[in-house]
Structure 1
């Protein structure tokens, strides 16, 4: 990875922003206004309403009538999010393309900052940045890019395989239109992880760029706090990411001279995450309805004990202690504090570098 000093944008490049919408009519005006207010680029907006029952299409028609840069595709029946994404992307004509959910927001100057990197480095296919989360009102954005990071594509994929955390939220991504059209959008086989596959495939075609120091978009979080969400849907999430990497290494094998070895790294990282997450949940008393046996079986399938004895011995020690009724080594209140601290450290590293650390230890 190299870091570079940002360069100014040249001319007024075109950017198409696709806004999929389902029951987010109340958020549409702010979302679209933030796009149309982007400076130094020529933008057009494609709203795709997936038969929202909340009247989103009425709001979208009003926005399209008020500005010729906005157009609407309205579904008569619900087709699901992947089909909605891809229909909008199929008609995006800009040199650069963004997929922005109707409940998220771009920060001021976001598109100009990203496109400047893509202009200066035509070998880069995709740029991302940092997207703060918000609930009601977004925080005051940082709007000055401190530096650019550029990873060779295979190096970025290797980082994903080792860390096994998707560092990209989605609203901050700007991709070359030619690359998006090559991929024909998002893969419908992966309803929960199609975005991750798209980022990985972009990295098979060329370097990945990141804007450092500025907030590129705002990702809206709905409802639940971090402790409630932390261990929810772990099995589905890990199984879906496993399928993502299987598809990548099976169908893009020509891009990987050491694909077998890299696949093993990815599977081990996923297995480790499964075991670590389950042990953390037990330590904090937050196992809930998560299918423990299924998760452990999935981990064993991806990384059998004989392949990584140390990992499995550490897991067994934790389980033996739990089964004997001795509970966690430290009190749960201390465990929660340690988990919170670890989460903050990971968050700060992600904000600074664009990469997340792997999950904690057993």
Structure 2
């Protein structure tokens, strides 16, 4: 079977680290290495990592004396990797049963696939209910393979990061060719990386749960999720960074950049409306201004096509408005 390298960056997540490691070791992949990179944690994470490495020869440890940031850890992991396939798994998250076998099967069968991804289920407040153990008989079913440039164009039409980072299993050779994550994109370096990886081949997605992400207040990303305007601006920066570099070879680059701006404006319009009905008028005003800047004269009109691009759009609108009214009624 093919070999896999898994890098687990850790900062202050020592209490979660054993579960993350166990979720990798239980994948049933014999040729497997794990690198835990501790970013100068003060919660005893380094001791936990050392103990795990003492118990399992597959586990290696890199301990930083100074916090270098998550991007530096990702890039250290890329430099360390030498297996056929490569995965970055956050220390507070877990792989779902069968995730590696599913990904390796499709990538071994289809050598054009540059990376795979799948469903990333959420565990709110750190309470994890693992998905049922996968049946080996169906691990090859349900994959959809898309040409890499078509994947990029689809993301430009709906510029939302639909790829769960913990589910992304990529060819190490492709990751090496794509290079490091960019430190200039502290919030959306992963979104830009999916675009870059897609320039090297096809993208395969499975309907299976591939990873479990914990949602808890200590996450750095939790603060980012609550900064709505920042989210839109950073997504835009990720796309523009891609087209300034690797994506510059696309013959329709300028049109795609304009499409990204326009579609982000449409998304911001509906987000502004949602925040307004929830009584968050300042956030709504900021988002509406962002929308108008990117949509021009069309900025005052509801972009209904954005809604109809989503599943069950009428139901989504109803849910947004109902939730907004409930929020306003709460003390």
- TM-score, structure 2 normalization: 0.85
- The answer to whether residue 58 in structure 2 is matched with residue 69 in structure 1 is yes
What residue in structure 2 maps to residue 352 of structure 1? none
Please state if 1:282 is matched with 2:298.
Answer: no
Q: Offset of 1:86 from its aligned partner?
A: 1.1
C-alpha distance in 2 between matches for 1:46 and 1:165: 30
Query: Cα RMSD over matched residues?
Result: 2.5
1:298 and 2:287 aligned: no
- Matching residue within 336, 340, 351 for 2:322: 336
Q: 1:196 to 1:339 in 2, by over 3 A?
A: farther
SS of aligned partner of 2:132: coil
Q: Is residue 2:109 matched to residue 1:138?
A: no
The 2-side partners of 1:334 and 1:114 are apart by: 35
Q: Deviations over 1:304-341 (max 9, x none)?
A: 22xxx2x42349xxxxxxxxxxxxxxxx998235999x
Following the alignment from structure 2 to structure 1, what is the Cα–Cα distance between the partners of residues 117 and 325?
27
**Separation of aligned partners in 2, 1:26 and 1:223:** 15
Look up the match of 1:24: 13
Q: CA 1:141–1:189 in structure 2 vs 1: closer, same or farther (change >3 Å)? A: farther
Is 2:224–2:230's contact at 8 Å kept on the other side of the alignment? no
How many residues align structurally? 303
Judged with a 3 Å threshold, the aligned counterparts in structure 2 of structure 1 residues 142 and 259 are, in CA distance, closer, same or farther, namely farther
Residue number in structure 1 paired with 2:265: 271
How big is the shift at 1:31? 0.7
Offset from partner CA, 1:239-280 (integer Å, 9 cap, x none) = 111111111112124431211111111110111112221111
Asked if 1:185 corresponds to 2:185, the answer is no
Asked if structure 2 preserves the Cα contact closer than 8 Å seen for 1:127 and 1:174, the reply is: yes
Shift of 1:232: 2.2
1:106 to 95, 102, 105: 95
Q: Structure 1 residues 334 and 120, CA, compared in 2 at 3 Å: closer, same or farther?
A: closer
CA-CA distance at 1:36 after TM superposition: 1.2
Shift of 1:41: 4.3
Partner of 1:350: none
The gaps in structure 2 that reach 5 residues or longer are 304-317, 327-331
C-alpha distance 286-178 of structure 1, shift in aligned 2 (>3 A):
same
Query: Secondary structure of the equivalent of 2:127?
Result: coil
* Pair 338,21 (structure 1): closer, same or farther in 2 beyond 3 Å: same
Map 1:63-212 to 2 at 5 A. Answer: 63-134=52-123, 135-141=126-132, 143=134, 144-145=138-139, 146-212=141-207
Flag structure 1 segments of 5+ consecutive residues without an equivalent.
Answer: 1-11, 316-331, 341-362
* Correspondence for 1:34 among 23, 26, 40: 23
By how many angstroms is 1:93 displaced? 1.4
Counterpart Cα distance in 1 of 2:251 and 2:293: 24
How far apart, in 2, do the equivalents of 1:155 and 1:132 lie?
A: 25
Task: Confirm or deny: 8 A CA contact 1:24 1:102 kept in the other structure.
Answer: yes
Deviation at 1:292, TM superposition (A): 2.9
In the alignment, does 2:235 pair up with 1:247? no
Pick one of 300, 303, 318 that aligns with 1:312. Answer: 300
1:262 and 2:253 correspond: no
Distance in 1 between the 2:224 and 2:237 partners? 21
Structure 1 pair 77–220 and aligned structure 2 pair: CA distance change class (3 A): same
> TM-score of the superposition, structure 1-length normalised?
0.78
Match of 1:215 in 2: 209
